[in-house]
Every structure is written in structure tokens, then in C-alpha cells.
Structure 1
Amino acid sequence: MSLLHFGRSHPAAQIAPPPSRPCVWRVGLCGGVLGAAPPTAMLSAMFPAATFRDVESAWPERGAQGFDLLIVGLNGADPSEVERAAARVAASAGRVEILVVLSGADIETTRRMIHQGAVDVLPAPVTDTTLTIALERIFCRLDTGRAQRRNGELVSILKAGGGVGATALATQAAVMLAGNPALNGVCLADLDLQMGMAGLYLDVADTVTLTQVLAAGGAVEDVPLASSLPAHNSGARVLVAPHEFMPVETLNPALVDSLVAALRRDFEISLVDLPTVWTAWTNRLLRQSQRIVLVTRLSVPHVHLVRRQLHMLEAQHLGDIPLTLVCNQMEADGVSGISLKAAEQAIGRAFDLVIPEDHRLMHQAINQGVALSALRRGSKIEAAIARLVDLVAASHVAPAALSIGR
């Protein structure tokens, strides 16, 4: 943590300037955070691939998207200011990095800012040396992030409440994806920290879990997931949820960034099964996704929950990420008490996919940890999930190759 830099006296000149980078990072210095005479010239010389610009306001409510990094000040002795800063940092996750310069630095406020998604927290007044070290680390991370976004794809599975069968869909989709030789590595990451069952559904529950990955030591992104995670007999690797209940706050945006980096490095497609709750880290993960799959059932409560989830996605500025809306466990007409058309009208958009109910077949597959096709080939539910797989893999596999192995 950057509080460890406090009190260092090494002159900035001793720090080797970073290598030149092909892309320019845009840095905003907000509200005189670095003093009346900010070291802009020194920073520009140390980081030629970055531009530094003074911003009059303490926090630009508009125009923040014009920066890659904002350096903001925070008075840790003012509880109301801390509350506002925590909300702003969380809302900025995935859009712009926030470096907080904290007056009256304390461990609790520092941890809270990091948990909400701040890329770093430095105690005020910040020295040139401390700032230079922090910026070098941040720019390296931004460079890595841009490179990783060109690699593996992240697909987030979002639930419209509990009991919608999203995990069962995710496990079967992962098995189908892994069976396609045109894809180079498939992972199912179960991040439902308290209720995750993906490992049990695929009969790989007694192996490496998320808890062990987080406790392995070092950066999570350095863990070789492709070789350390257990593989289902289909070839899909599975990051199993913790065996014991873990607080949802165990994960944070920084850990999610590291985990996403490792997943994208090692797998061409990663399906991520999320909890039903919204947190700073789930928000961060959704922002880094190439597709969101929102799963619901055909019932009045679940239709209302879909609307709330869609509104939340819009409120968090996530509406530009491709969304696939799935109606799962579609029963015979009249059984659910609500028609598909009425549900779509209430939601305000059509379903992209409808998965028929086949309770017996799905539960047999779950109990045995196998693919649906291993029990019965050509079922309607298998064909419907295959269409979901086609959507997920469309950018990676030629259309003719998608049906291989089915």
C-alpha cells in the first residue's frame, strides 16, 4: 500500500524514467491537489507518454471521461467528504482511474478508497518521489490492461434474482464451448462467494477454489490458471467458489482487475457467474465484460427484477455493453400465469433467447456432473443452450465451426 512510501527521501532524479509508450495517458490534476505550483514540468519529463492538465474543480462531474487518470484530494477528517468521495470513486470504476491524495491519512479511509476502486492512495503532502513511483506503477497497469483487452473475452452471467437457473445454464454453456476445438481455452469462474455451485454442478468441487487462488501469495494475475484450475472432462477449466461462506466484500476492484487479467491471459472465453448483489467489484467486472447475459424466469416477480437490473445497468452507464436477455425454464403455455409477450411488454424489450423447461434432464446432468448430450442427444434444451453458445462465441469462431462436436 502506498502509505509505505510515506517518509521516503530519495530524490526523484534517482528514479529511472519509464520507457516511452505508444499511447498517451491523459492525467487530470484536480483542484490544486499537488499544491499551488504542481510539478507538471517534472512529471512531463519523467513520463513523456502522458499529458498532465490542471482541472479547476476538486472533482469534475462532467468531462471526467476525457481522462485516463484523475488525481484528486480528500480530507479524511471530514466524514461527509469521505462519503461523497467513496461514491464517486465507485461510480468511476472501469471508466477512469482515481488516485487519491489523502489529508489526515488513516488506514480505515485508505482501505475504503481502495475497496471502492481507487487505483492508489497517497498521504498528503505527497513528495515527488512517492508520486513518481505511484504513477509508474499505475501506467504499467494501464498498459497491461490495454494489452489484455485485446486477448481473452469475458462474459458475465447476471441473475434477475435467485432461482433462475443461471448457474446451470453457465455450466452447460461452458461444456459446449470447451468442446469446440476452434476455441483456445474456456473457463467458468464462479464468483458467487456465498451461494456458488458451479463446481458441484460439474463435479469438480473438491479441488482448487477461489479462496486458494486469492491466498496463493503474490499478485492474483500471476497465478497460472490454465494449469492450476481443475478441468471438467469436457476440457472446461473451473474456478470453484469458496466451500465456506465468504463476505461479499472479500473481493474488491483491485483483486477483480488482477483476476480478469489472468483469465484473459489464459483463456479465450471466460464465463463469470456473478452473485445477485451489486458491489463495487461486481460493477468493475461488468465494465470489463465484452458481453452480459441476464437470466430470468417467466414470473411476475422476476419480470420486475429484470426491469430493475436493466435500470441499474443504465444508471451505471453499462448500457453500451452487448446484453443477451435470456428467459430460462420456459414452461408450457399458461403454467407460469404470465405470457412471454406480456413479460416482454412489461420489460420494454424482447427476449433474445428462450430456454425450455426440462427439469428432469437438467437435474440428471447436475447430479452426475455431465453434459446434457451425455444423457440425451438432440433435446430441445440442449439446442436452445447451443444458440446461447453461438452468441457468446460468435466473435471467435466462424459460423460453420460453432456446431462442431454437438
Structure 2
Amino acid sequence: MITAAALERLTRFDGGKLPVTSVYLGLQPDRRALRSLSAQVSSLLHQIRPMAEDRSLDRDARLSVRADIERIEAEAGREPRPTGRALAIFSCSGRDFYEELELPRSVRDRIVVDATPWVRPMLAVLDEYHRTCVLVVDKESARTWELFADELEETSTLFGAALRKPQYAGWHGLDEYRVRNKAQELARRHFRRVATVLDDFFREGRFELLAVGGHDVEVSTFLDFLPPKLRDAVAGTFSVDPGTATTQDIRASAEAIVERYERDEERREVAEAYETQAAGGNAVVGLEHCLWAGSVAAVQRLLVHEDATAPGVVCDESGWLALSGDTCPICGRPTRRTDDVIDELAQAVIDTSGTVEHVAADTPLKEDVAAAHLRFPLPPPPD
């Protein structure tokens, strides 16, 4: 599972003078493809084997890269095999650092040896997912989970000060009245404490969205204790009995909320791109225009209809992308044909610090395939 702690370890890791080997592997769902994982890894590692013998590198660096190759090969041959859509591996053997993470969306096979972990492709994939805090609360308890990329992990449990109800009500129910008021005050105190803990979570940047479950009346009461900024992060609520709900029940309810939120967000983003383009702003609609925008590194945010593919061409020298053309009009070199130029476009956007959103919602992208928010107006395309 990709946790906030794992991401922090990667982004903060420093090998000093020792390089870090970063490997990205796109995984296929069928068994035969999984069995070929070792060959897939070996082919990538072949690209960096000369570094392990390169005398221009420091001896410790060569030994670390050599050990990286050996460990990554060994791990690829072990069972059980990964079950995600992609695998990201980061290794710096000289610092005893190794991290292997499954990704929820496919990526292109790539390997990089650099001073720090190459996390941009992974962050681009994760940008499509919202790290959600799932809270199940009542007037006496609260439990939180982290929901991210189809994984649910419990993070904390809080209990309030429950008040035991007396056996007898007392004179004219006065004791019962006092007990009820005291119970309400304890519940309010508990809700305030839970809201403070959640506020700390979000201030630390641990979550983007909040999904709240419990009995409807108690959930509605609790929401009033949230500060305004935290209320804006509430993606939805769900009805559940905190005492009897299973983790599977909570996960299913939370995933349904996040699914609705993501589809609504996708529709909003697509609508904004079309409106900006229609008003003559920095946005384009249609695959051909997006390919040209990607060719000149103009794409800030690429929106692509989910699972859309299209054949095309790419120039590995200039980065020109198009639906057809044997010769690059920018540098004059022969182009390379590709079965999926949209994947090439997405990788080009990621490599130039843009972001990619795969849109599953029902939007005009079903017909137009792609749209993009731009950093700057596009220059005229080449003939």
C-alpha cells in the first residue's frame, strides 16, 4: 500500500554521493504476463549494467548500483507477484534503502539512476487519487481510516467519557434531567475533541477529503463542530451503526462517496476546459491540438477519457507528437510509430511537470478524447 509515510521516506531520502536506482514497470492482468516479470525487469536492468563497471564513477557508487541490480532481479523472481497495475522500485543498496510500491494505474517501463529517487511518474499517477480520511463517529467514540488508491488502513481510535445512567430518576425526574444534560455536554466535548484531531490531520497535509459515517442524527450534530475549512473537505456522509459495522461495510460506503466525488470533480474539470477554450483562453480541446500542446511543453493539466487509445507517431529527438507523419517537421528526422500516442502524450506531460487526469465520467471527452489546460498560448503548428 502507498502510505503517506512511504511517500515521505522517498521524497526525503538522500543517498549522499551514492545513486538511487528507480524502476517503473507496467503490469498486465493476465498470468502469462506476470510470469514474464523477471524478463521484463532484466531487460530494463540491462540498460544500466554498464554503470556497474564504469571506472569513471566512484567505486562505492559502482558497487551500490551493482547491488541494486542484483537485489531488484532477485525480488522480481519471488512470489507472490504484485497484483496492481504497475510497480515502482527504488533502491540504494549502499545506504540499505529499498522501497517497492504497487501503483493503481499502469505506467510505461522506465529506469533511471540519479542522485535522488525519481518519483515524478508515481506522483503523477497518485495525483488522480484523493487521500481520504474516513471517520465513523458517535457520541462516545470515533475511529478513523485512511482510504487511498483502493486501500483502507485504520489510523486512530478515540473514546469520549461515557456517562452511566442512574437506576432511578429522582424527585420529579430532576436527576434524570441533570444526567441528560451532563450526557449532552460530554457528547459535545467528545465531538469537539474529534474535530480538533481531524483538523490537525488536515493541517499536516495527511488528507484531502473527509467522509463521515454513523447514525444520521449524530453525524449531523458532529458536522456542526467542524471548522469551516474542514467542512469544505467533507466529500459526503453515510449511515452506519458504529457498534456493528464491519470494515468491509465502512470501506464500501466510503468508496462510493469518493467515487461520486471524483466523477463530479472530473465533470467540473472538463466543463472548465471547454468553457476556457470557447472563451479563447489557455485551453485546447481534441487530441490533435493536445498532441501539439504536448510537443511544445505547453500542457499544465491534461484530461484524457479513461482507457482511450490512438495510434500515432513520435519524434524521439524533438518530442514532436502527432497522429501521423513519417518525418518530424521540427528536426527533419524519421518518426517512430506507436500503438498508443496518448500514452506518449501523457508521459511527455509528466516529464515537463504537468499533470494528467484520466476521466471516467460521462463527458464530451467520450467524443473528443482529450482536452488540456495550457501554460501559455500555443504557437502555430508546423506544416
Q: Same fold (TM over 0.5)?
A: no
* Band of TM-score, shorter chain: under 0.3
TM (normalized to structure 1)? 0.25
Between 1 and 2, higher relative CO (CA 8 Å, sep ≥ 6) is seen in: 1
Bigger strand fraction: 2
TM (normalized to structure 2)? 0.26
